[in-house]
Chain A
Amino acid sequence: MSDIELKGKVRSAVGKGLFALRTSGKIPAVVYGPGLDALPIELEAKTTVQTLNRLTGSTLVKLSVDQKTYSVLLRDIQRDSIRRTILHADFYAVPTDRVIRVRVPLHLAGISAAVRDFSGILVPVLSDLEVECLPKDLVSGITVDLAPLEKIGDSITIKDITLPPGIRALMDADDTIVTVTAQMAEEEVVAPVAAAVPGEVEVIEKGKKLEEGEEEEGAPAPAKDAKESKEAKK
């Protein structure tokens, strides 16, 4: 288990009571897991925000709640969409004897020769890897060495990386983690077209319109007949 520790208290405020809780400097959270009923807790915002911000979903945390200690993983964080402050956190109490599925973040390390010598662009495709392992084998991140990327077009797939012992990747072995592409071509500056032509937009025909159209087609016919009869009279 990692050295990261969090302290919480059992929370009684739920629903609309959370607004007052947040303004008093607390973060509402919940702990759940196999054989454990969902337990609402509160964390001290001042001391936990920095820890929560650097936690990954695969870092085991020691969470103490009123004399009880749980080994948990951070499963979800809800944030205010504008202020980015933490509104709520979900912790998953991991079973020690059971295999769990976790998304482990991938960290790119080293320098690629294709980027250094050929000015290629490094395009990370996967940011994390879904793995299966026992909680004791869990790692907080997997490092991917970029040295094998020697020329433009080279890529590193899941089968190319060595996973820590006890960890099995659940994704397709041929999935690309990172690739190197050529720099995009210089964009040609085209003279602006005189405004967009909105008339070109196609409007999806409606059944009702078609019926109306048929009626309209039928309508002029009698008028034409009348004209013809007038001409005949003349």
Chain B
Amino acid sequence: MLMPKRVKWRKQMRGRMSGHETRGTELDFGEYGLQALEPGWLTQRQIEAARRALVHSMKRRGKIWLRIFPDKPITIKAAETRMGKGKGAVDHWVAVVKPGRIIFEVGGLPEDAAREALRLAAFKFGLKTKMIAKIEATGAKE
């Protein structure tokens, strides 16, 4: 499962998820994408489950781009432990997602197949998402 190889600090504070995403909100690689509409934490297990659902549904066609990475450690105190005595041990890793973030991008397959694959992948996340398609790129230069 996805997790960082090296980190600067072993444990983090929870943080806040106010506002919407300002980066990673446009399709940069594929033709279709899954966009988050709510803020939340996506765990490494959820991301892996969604990726497998995509791979299974795409039946060896097309290509997948994962646009998030679980780099936030979540700690949990051991069961039947009294409060205090410091922060618990790292249990799993999550990716912080805010509204507007593109989670997955897919390309190289027909729209109906992409739509179905992303629909199945979206069930693995506990937040509202929508599918978006690429609109003509612009890029005139001097």
Binding site for B on A (CB under 8 A): 34, 53-58, 73-77, 81-82, 84, 92, 100-103, 105, 121-124, 127-128, 130, 183-187, 193, 195-196, 198-199, 201-204
Pairs A–B under 8 Å by Cβ, sample size 21: A34-B142, A55-B138, A81-B21, A81-B22, A101-B141, A103-B139, A121-B61, A122-B108, A123-B108, A128-B137, A128-B139, A196-B1, A196-B3, A196-B93, A198-B73, A198-B93, A201-B73, A202-B7, A203-B6, A203-B8, A203-B9
Question: Which residues in B have their C-beta under 8 angstroms from that of A84?
Answer: 132, 135
| B139 touching A121, Cβ below 8 Å | no
| B25 touching A81, Cβ below 8 Å | yes
Question: Which residues in B have their C-beta under 8 angstroms from that of A74?
Answer: 138, 140
Q: Interface size of B by Cβ–Cβ distance < 8 Å?
A: 42
Known pairs A58-B140, A201-B3, A201-B73; list 12 more (Cβ under 8 Å). A53-B135, A56-B136, A57-B140, A74-B140, A75-B140, A84-B135, A124-B107, A127-B137, A130-B141, A198-B90, A201-B10, A203-B9
B87 lies within 8 A of chain A by Cβ: no
Contact of B20 among A82, A92, A130 (CB under 8 A): A82
Contact of B7 among A123, A130, A193, A203 (CB under 8 A): A203
Chain B 50-92 interface mask (CB, 8 Å, partner A; 1/0): 0010010000111100000000010000000000000001111
User: What's the Cα separation between A53 and B136 when bound, in Å?
Assistant: 7
User: What's the Cα separation between A23 and B93 when bound, in Å?
Assistant: 42
Distance between A143 CB and nearest chain B CB, rounded to angstroms: 15
In the A-B complex, list the 9 residue pairs whose CB atoms are closest, starting with the nearest. A103-B139, A198-B90, A81-B100, A81-B25, A57-B138, A73-B140, A57-B139, A183-B60, A101-B141
| B141 touching A103, Cβ below 8 Å | yes
User: What's the Cα separation between A187 and B57 when bound, in Å?
Assistant: 12
